[in-house]
């Protein structure tokens, strides 16, 4: 087991937390009725935010965030960079960074790891991320799969983010020296679960609405007479009554 260098760990923590916080702030601006930020305004906001997070020691907000949540995973860092790129390109709301296959993989693997951490599985899955054989092999297979996806243009941004996370682990052992901390963290897991729940609710809403369906209109009395099986008999009786009335006159 090899741990990352402390200096690189501190720099990564400040940079990653600044990126995550910037992404959250811009996501909040998306849901508020405000005008889209220009590139100059966005650049100034990001510059101030990153400068604040790069302050030394306890003066940096990243110091306190690291005490509470440790470090963002490399994959969360990459996904947040993708969201910031969408804002920079002027895509308010942007595309789906957390695609359903990626979200499902994160949700399932995270649930297994968290159940194991709580003692409900007790298989030691998390500590396997420090292993000298299994963890490098999984990282190698994951990097190869990401490279193939990038070459074939299959979810290229997500594959690039995942490949970047694996390279951070392989080259610098960031953020903690554990493979699972590179691919997963509570914030990323919550993002994945939320996106899956939102997608499921949207599909349920679509299935509940039948295209082209109309509410039944109120039926008039004349329509009831027309639709009744005794309507011809009633019409014949009415015609006979009229003839008798004319003959009597």
Instruction: Supply the pLDDT for residue 227.
Output: 43
Dist CA 106 CA 126 (whole Å): 14
3-state SS class at 200:
helix
Dist CA 249 CA 237 (whole Å): 19
Instruction: Supply the pLDDT for residue 39.
Output: 84
User: Is 73:191 a contact under the CB 8 Å cutoff?
Assistant: no
Instruction: Supply the pLDDT for residue 121.
Output: 85
Instruction: Supply the pLDDT for residue 217.
Output: 54
Instruction: Supply the pLDDT for residue 212.
Output: 55
Q: How large is the average pLDDT for residues 155-162?
A: 94
**Cα–Cα distance list, 7 to 14, 169, 178, 236 (Å):** 11, 15, 17, 101
Q: Which residue, 110, 105, 173, is CA-closest to 139?
A: 173
Reported pTM: 0.81
Instruction: Supply the pLDDT for residue 214.
Output: 54
Q: How large is the average pLDDT for residues 53-64?
A: 95
Q: How large is the average pLDDT for residues 189-203?
A: 94
Is the confidence at residue 244, as pLDDT, over 50? Answer: no
Is the confidence at residue 243, as pLDDT, over 80? Answer: no
Average pLDDT across the chain, whole number: 84
Omega before residue 175 within 30° of 0, cis: yes
**Cα–Cα distance list, 84 to 143, 144, 242 (Å):** 24, 26, 83
Instruction: Supply the pLDDT for residue 93.
Output: 59
Instruction: Supply the pLDDT for residue 172.
Output: 94
Q: How large is the average pLDDT for residues 190-205?
A: 93
- Please report, for the chain, the start and end positions of each structural domain, with discontinuous segments joined by +: 6-207
Is the confidence at residue 32, as pLDDT, over 60? Answer: yes
Q: How large is the average pLDDT for residues 215-231?
A: 46
Q: How large is the average pLDDT for residues 170-185?
A: 95
Condensed to tens digits (0 to 9), the pLDDT of residues 104-128 reads: 999 999 999 999 988 888 888 999 9
Instruction: Supply the pLDDT for residue 211.
Output: 56
Q: How confident is the model at residue 87 (pLDDT cuts 50, 70, 90)?
A: confident
User: Is 16:72 a contact under the CB 8 Å cutoff?
Assistant: yes
Is the confidence at residue 224, as pLDDT, over 80? Answer: no
């Amino acid at each position: 087991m090899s741990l990352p260098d402390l200096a690189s760990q501190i720099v990564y923590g400040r940079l990653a937390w600044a990126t995550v916080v910037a992404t959250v702030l811009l996501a909040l601006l998306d849901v508020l009725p405000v005008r889209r930020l220009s590139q100059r305004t966005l650049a100034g906001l990001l510059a101030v935010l990153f400068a604040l997070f790069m302050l030394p020691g306890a003066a940096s907000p990243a110091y306190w965030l690291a005490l509470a949540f440790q470090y963002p995973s490399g994959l969360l860092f990459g996904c947040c960079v993708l969201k910031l790129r969408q804002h920079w390109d002027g895509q308010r709301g942007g595309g789906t960074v957390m695609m359903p296959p990626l979200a499902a993989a994160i949700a399932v693997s995270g649930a297994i790891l968290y159940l194991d951490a709580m003692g409900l599985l007790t298989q030691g899955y998390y500590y396997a991320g420090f292993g000298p054989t299994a963890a490098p092999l999984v990282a190698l297979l994951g990097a190869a799969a990401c490279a193939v996806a990038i070459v074939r243009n299959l979810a290229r941004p997500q594959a690039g983010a995942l490949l970047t996370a694996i390279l951070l682990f392989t080259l610098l052992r960031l953020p903690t020296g554990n493979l699972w901390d590179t691919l997963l963290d509570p914030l990323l897991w919550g993002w994945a679960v939320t996106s899956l729940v939102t997608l499921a609710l949207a599909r349920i809403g679509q299935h509940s609405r039948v295209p082209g369906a109309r509410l039944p209109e109120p039926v008039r009395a004349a329509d009831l007479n027309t639709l009744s099986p005794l309507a011809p008999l009633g019409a014949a009786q009415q015609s006979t009554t009229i003839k008798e009335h004319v003959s009597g006159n």
